[in-house]
């Protein structure tokens, strides 16, 4: 465990109450960072913060209820985080949702909600943090966006999700080049493939219903696409985030790095 410091750097992780986000929070806490997580569900948020604190009394963790689709809520959350815990030096945009179906049957409301949750929120949160924090604008600053291999190669029955994640990758690369010119932070995307999370279970259920097959058949079909033959774990994705957040990744920027068991190769 790293030595405790008087003023640890602050890492803000959106959607940090379960799955990949919670694993990222755990990993960053182990590196001595003060971690602030957000989530829409106050019950899940409280449970997540308690579970993180229970792992080690030394861990410095806090949580804010925030709907990242709401621009004013995002502004207020970043302002409160900065005031109460300090300027974030690390931002992990992890909040997201699944969403899709046969494209011709997708209602406007679903498309727009996936875009707001998975793409627009990344812009809104990033903009507010860059405005509010001098710490994140330094060379040691880190902006890490959780995208998806689906944003590179597409997912059947997942047009909204794939489009939003492709947008996250494009935003990441553009922002990285912009901020590098000013001597600022690194900006990267992490692209998970199939990861065993509650959202993955929901995706399998939806895919099974669309194709009139069992969820066990869906799992077998999905696993057969993965060269290593299994889903990745949230902790494996968090390991990549942990690397990108650290000093060894100071020259890594404008990248979209896969954690997918070989599912994607570009």
- CATH code assigned at 251: 3.40.50.720
Question: What residue numbers bound the domain in which 145 lies?
Answer: 10-193+233-259
**pLDDT score, position 201:** 85
Position 6 scores a pLDDT of: 58
Q: Residue 148 in contact with residue 158, Cβ under 8 Å?
A: no
Give how many domains the chain has, as a whole number: 1
Q: Are 115 and 68 in contact (CB under 8 A)?
A: no
| pLDDT on residue 101 | 92
Per-residue pLDDT tens over the stretch 177-190: 999 999 999 999 99
161 annotated active-site: yes
pLDDT at 59 (0 to 100): 81
Smallest CA-to-CA distance from 44 within 28, 59, 73, 66 is with 66
At residue 210, the pLDDT reads 85
Kindly state the greatest CA–CA separation across the chain: 57
Whether 202 maps to a domain, the answer reads no
pTM over 0.85: yes
**pLDDT at 57 (0 to 100):** 65
Return d(Cα 230, Cα 249) in angstroms, integer: 28
Tell me, yes or no, whether 224 lies in a domain: no
**Options 161, 194, 207, 231, the catalytic residue:** 161
Residue 3: what pLDDT? 45
Residue 1 lies in a domain: no
Regions in the chain scoring below 70 on pLDDT:
1-6, 56-57
Instruction: Confirm whether 71 is domain-assigned.
Output: yes
Q: What is the pLDDT of residues 240-257, one digit of tens each?
A: 999 999 999 999 999 999
In a domain, 42, yes or no: yes
Domain assignment present for residue 2? The answer is no
3-state secondary structure 67-89: CCCCHHHHHHHHHHHHHHHCCEE
């Amino acid at each position: 465990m790293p030595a405790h410091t008087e003023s640890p750097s602050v890492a803000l992780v959106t959607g940090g109450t379960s799955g990949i986000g919670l694993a990222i929070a755990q990993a960053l806490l182990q590196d001595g960072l003060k971690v602030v997580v957000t989530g829409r569900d106050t019950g899940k948020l409280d449970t997540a913060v308690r579970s993180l604190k229970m792992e080690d009394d030394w861990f410095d963790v806090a949580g804010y209820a925030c709907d990242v689709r709401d621009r004013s809520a995002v502004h207020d959350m970043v302002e409160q985080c900065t005031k109460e815990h300090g300027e974030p030096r690390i931002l992990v945009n992890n909040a997201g949702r699944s969403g899709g179906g046969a494209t011709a049957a997708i209602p406007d409301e679903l498309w727009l909600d996936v875009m707001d949750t998975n793409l627009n929120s990344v812009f809104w949160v990033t903009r507010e943090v860059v405005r509010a924090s001098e710490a994140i604008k330094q060379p040691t600053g880190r902006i890490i966006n959780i995208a998806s291999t689906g944003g590179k190669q597409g997912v059947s029955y997942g047009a909204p999700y794939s489009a939003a994640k492709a947008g996250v990758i494009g935003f990441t690369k553009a922002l990285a080049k912009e901020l590098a010119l000013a001597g600022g932070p690194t900006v990267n995307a992490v692209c998970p493939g199939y990861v065993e999370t509650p959202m993955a279970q929901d995706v399998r259920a939806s895919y099974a219903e669309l194709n009139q097959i069992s969820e066990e058949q869906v799992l077998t079909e999905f696993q057969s696409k993965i060269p290593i033959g299994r889903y990745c774990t949230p902790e494996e994705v968090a390991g990549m985030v942990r690397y990108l957040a650290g000093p060894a990744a100071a020259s890594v920027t404008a990248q979209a790095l896969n954690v997918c068991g070989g599912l994607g190769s570009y």
